[in-house]
Chains A and B, each alone.
Chain A
């Protein structure tokens, strides 16, 4: 049943809505249209179009970009699970209060502090060129492996802080309630606290995942050709920037579905926490 029953008032509301929609559409078209006009009319536009939006170069670069993209995919799809595991471990370690575990807590804290202080590109160089230079026995010199390891180490430090924030955001009454039910510390962590903590930090976790996808480009400094370096090779050889635009489109195609998924999860979270039903 609608709240407004007076037909005259309904008409006024309907007319206002239509007018608002018209104004909004016109304003959007005018502003964006003006921006487009300004860009297209600028004196340097033909040169920029030739350099950044050239369909011939896009087509020619495409095969090598796809090859590079496979490596990018492989890198971040294998790195992310390991990052999540290591980060979770570090976050949990920092949260344990038993005195005998003090050395572990110190190591975990030092790890996050120091690794987050070192730029990721520097870690890549240290791992990729430095470790092989040590000539250790039985250890591979493969640049792809060390680049991957550097990414994992770097991102675990950042993601562990995200997990720690999630763990600390779960109200202590949850842990207390778990103890009251007879679960020991670790069971309480595993079955009560951790699931809630993880659900809460899914948006920032996805954020870091998207960031990891971009940082796989740093591995190219060690030799392997991934998407961005494939674009760079074509760009620097043929003196044209279009491959970079195409590579960006690859990334956008990857990122957009994931951000929508993250939004959906966050919305579902909100619904759950605001609903009056039973359950966590």
Chain B
């Protein structure tokens, strides 16, 4: 005669109940429906942000000049800090209603809820990236440029071909790498660094001859940080970086954000901000 031991029966029952419960929980649909994007007169009516009455903005840590000064975005100094506050003001949040948070680059495109309303960090808009996040309209267009040490044999370069034999360094995931490979076609492998400061160290150590990154950064480094010179910009065309603010995918807030950016552009306020913080960092000849 066969009997199933009471313990086994109890365990089986518990397991079945657990499975049923978790399946039901997993099937539960989130019932949040996105607020319909306001059209017409004011795209910023009825917006919802992560925290009520507060706009949460994310950037990197450390954040470098000329985009953020002293690694403190709350001071409003630096091109991206100032731009973020200007956009926030147009959206209806004054400086005291803006909070900053830290978003490492490789977390920007993680699926799921973001803990910020938008991120600003020299992020280039590309169609592939648009699969994972929602970009605002561009707020800046940046060229890439080549930075060398003053005593480098490459400091007299005037054309892209002059840089072909150089050991070139770039920062990970920027448009510099594909642009360097397409326009310069270097004979040595490109070195890829995680941060601006690592690449700058390598340049000073002679481990790389040239550091290619966005023009304002190269000019900032050359004038303020190291004994370097920017030999020129890489030609623009279709690889030119257009930077946008990054929002969670399909976040309806982007309508309000874009309306704000448009207003700042049309009122010339964005030009004034760009001029104020980037004026010293935008002039360099274009490499032929």
Residues of A that sit less than 8 Å from B by CB: 27, 30-31, 34, 37-39, 41-44, 47-48, 50-51, 129, 132-133, 141-143, 220-225, 229, 232-233, 235-241
Contacts and interface: CB of A to CB of B under 8 A. Distances in A.
B23 A233 contact: no
Contacts, number: 110
Contacts of A143: 191, 202, 207
Given A129-B205, A141-B205, A232-B106, A239 B112 contact: no
Given A34-B19, A38-B22, A223 B128 contact: no
Interface string B110-122: 1110000000000
A233 B129 CA distance: 13
In the A-B complex, list the 7 residue pairs whose CB atoms are closest, starting with the nearest: A236-B173, A223-B191, A239-B109, A47-B111, A239-B132, A34-B19, A239-B129
12 contacts: A34-B19, A34-B23, A37-B23, A37-B26, A41-B27, A48-B112, A129-B198, A221-B194, A222-B202, A223-B169, A233-B177, A233-B192
Contacts of A41: 23, 26-27
B208 interface: yes
Contacts of B172: 229, 232-233, 236
B132 A141 contact: no
A34 B19 CA distance: 6
B205 A133 contact: yes
A43 B189 CA distance: 43
A221 B22 contact: no
Main secondary structure on chain A at its contact with chain B? helix
Interface in B56-73: none
Contacts of B22: 34, 38
A223 B19 contact: no
Contacts of A47: 111-112, 249
B26 A42 contact: yes
B192 A225 contact: yes
B189 A225 contact: yes
B193 to A, nearest CB: 6
B23 A38 contact: yes
Contact of A239 (B29, B128, B204): B128
A236 B132 contact: no
Given A224-B191, A237-B173, 14 more contacts: A30-B19, A31-B19, A41-B23, A47-B111, A48-B112, A50-B111, A133-B201, A141-B207, A223-B193, A233-B177, A233-B192, A237-B128, A239-B108, A240-B109
Interface in B70-88: none
Contact of A223 (B23, B178, B207): B207
Nearest to A41: B26
B173 A232 contact: yes
A219 B178 CA distance: 22
Contacts of B23: 34, 37-38, 41
Contacts of B202: 129, 143, 222-223
Contacts of A51: 109-111, 132
Nearest to B202: A223
Contact of A236 (B15, B105, B133, B205): B105
B110 A129 contact: no
B206 interface: yes
A46 to B, nearest CB: 9
B27 A229 contact: no
A224 B109 CA distance: 25
Nearest to A225: B192
B131 interface: yes
B100 to A, nearest CB: 22
Contacts of A30: 15-16, 19
Given A132-B206, A237-B173, A31 B189 contact: no
Contacts of B191: 143, 223-225
